Amino acid sequence: MGGSANGATDLSSEMEVDAFRRLFPLRFHERHLVESVRPDARPLGKARETSLALGAVGSADGSALAKIGCTTMLAAIKMEVMTPATDAPDEGCVAIDFHMPAICSPIVRPGRPAEAAPVVSKQLSDTILSSGMIDLKELSLVSGKAAWMAYLDIYCLDADGALFDAALLAAAAAFSHLQIPVVSLNDDGRIVVVSKQNEVEKLKNKPVNEEKRKLKLKGIPFALTCILHKNYILADPTAEEESIMETLITIVLDSSCQLVSLYKPGGPALAYESVIQDCIALSRQRVRELQTILNEAISDMEVD
């Protein structure tokens, strides 16, 4: 062990930076951490540049494109009418699905879905439904007979670390952008979507939900993933950092800074309570940033 470390130090004085980064990734990153900086010149607790664009998919009822650094997520919501379950006749349903198509990363192969995809999918589903952001009663149309099923599909277009953070942001933005389609009850007693061309039908059958077009979202959850390595806490890791230092901790807070979810799935580094408190403090800061970005994106949409 000592021998190989010496071997590395001998080589490191002669090697090019890129080669050193590929051959000894952990040492490369640790050299940066000692100076409290990361290879992309970020301080340890700072997240990458985040941007949001609402309405990215014209054919969907609600959509958003979220970018954190290079990680890109496209979320779109399609609404369909369904009959509600008998034990919850006044509630609609939300189905969340996360996809990692082969374009997003060199390690995803067609025919073999990425390991991260179902994990993030379940995490998202649990977080969004348990945070109470959406009141399922708002998705009801006719009690016991018809309710909305909202299909939320999130596609990862570029996987560069912090997938869950970006996906949650895209999901929250898509729900903020969602416009529920206007429907009316036609003569057979079925719910029919009122399209702009059916002017005549619009007069015949009064639309059922003309007033209720946007969802009221309360307590929107925002996430921050951190990496724990020795004594360091790195916020918002890139894919390279995630693959070298494997201990991740994800903290989800809502807009009033209440803890929604805490996820530390094992990993070689153990965390003292003080470390978790530090992570929560970093998350609190991040929630404020993300809230501002989301509000700006919504107000930009409304101006249009």
Partner 1 sequence: MEYVNPEGLRLDGRRPMEMRQLRAEIGAVSGADGSAMFEMGNTKVIAAVYGPREVQHRSQMVNDKALIRCEYTMANFSTGDRTRKPKGDRRSTEISLVIRQTMEACILTHLMPRSQIDIFVQVLQADGGTRSACINAATLALADAGIPMRDLVTSCSSGYLNSTPLLDLNYVEDSAGGPDVTVGILPKLDKVTLLQMDAKLPMDIFENVMQLATEGCKAVANYIREVLIQNTKQLEHRRGV
Residues 6+ apart with CB under 8 A from 256: 219
Asked if residue 74 binds partner 1 (CB under 8 A), the reply is yes
Choices 70-78, 122-130, 163-171, 178-186 (CB under 8 A): range interacting with partner 1: 70-78
Site for partner 1 in 94-123 (CB under 8 A): 97, 99, 101-106, 109-110
d(CA 222, CA 290): 7
Q: Smaller CB distance to partner 1: residue 73 or 260?
A: 73
d(CA 138, CA 13): 64
Asked if residue 179 binds partner 1 (CB under 8 A), the reply is no
Alpha-carbon dihedral sign for residues 264, 265, 266, 269: negative
Among 157, 262, 293, 301, binds partner 1 (CB under 8 A): 157
Choices 67-75, 115-123, 257-265, 290-298 (CB under 8 A): range interacting with partner 1: 67-75
Reported as type and span, the H/E element at residue 252 is strand 248-254
d(CA 167, CA 147): 26
Q: Smaller CB distance to partner 1: residue 63 or 184?
A: 63
The number of beta carbons lying within 10 Å of the beta carbon of residue 99 is 15
Rg (CA), the chain: 23
d(CA 31, CA 94): 46
Choices 155-163, 208-216, 255-263, 291-299 (CB under 8 A): range interacting with partner 1: 155-163
Asked if residue 176 binds partner 1 (CB under 8 A), the reply is no
Using CB under 8 A as the criterion, what x/- string covers residues 227-266 for binding partner 1? ------------x---------------------------
Place of tokens 């952001």: 133
Asked if residue 155 binds partner 1 (CB under 8 A), the reply is yes
Q: Smaller CB distance to partner 1: residue 116 or 228?
A: 116
Among 58, 189, 266, 268, binds partner 1 (CB under 8 A): 58
Least distance from partner 1 to the Cβ atom of residue 63, Å: 7
Q: Smaller CB distance to partner 1: residue 49 or 210?
A: 49
Asked if residue 167 binds partner 1 (CB under 8 A), the reply is no
How far does the chain reach from its first CA to its final CA, in angstroms? 62
Asked if residue 165 binds partner 1 (CB under 8 A), the reply is no
Residue 97 forms beta bridges with which residues? 153
Asked if residue 63 binds partner 1 (CB under 8 A), the reply is yes
State how beta strands 50-54 and 62-68 pair.
antiparallel
Asked if residue 25 binds partner 1 (CB under 8 A), the reply is no
Distances (CA, A) of 178 to 148, 150, 271: 13, 10, 39
Residue 209 forms beta bridges with which residues? none
State how beta strands 93-99 and 146-158 pair.
parallel
Asked if residue 37 binds partner 1 (CB under 8 A), the reply is no
Q: If you write DSSP's letter for every residue of 152-176 in order, what string do you get?
A: EEEEEEE--S-HHHHHHHHHHHHHH
Choices 68-76, 193-201, 247-255, 261-269 (CB under 8 A): range interacting with partner 1: 68-76
Q: Give the residues lining the site for partner 1 (CB under 8 A).
A: 57-60, 63, 70, 72, 74, 76-78, 80, 97, 99, 101-106, 109-110, 151, 153, 155, 157-160, 239
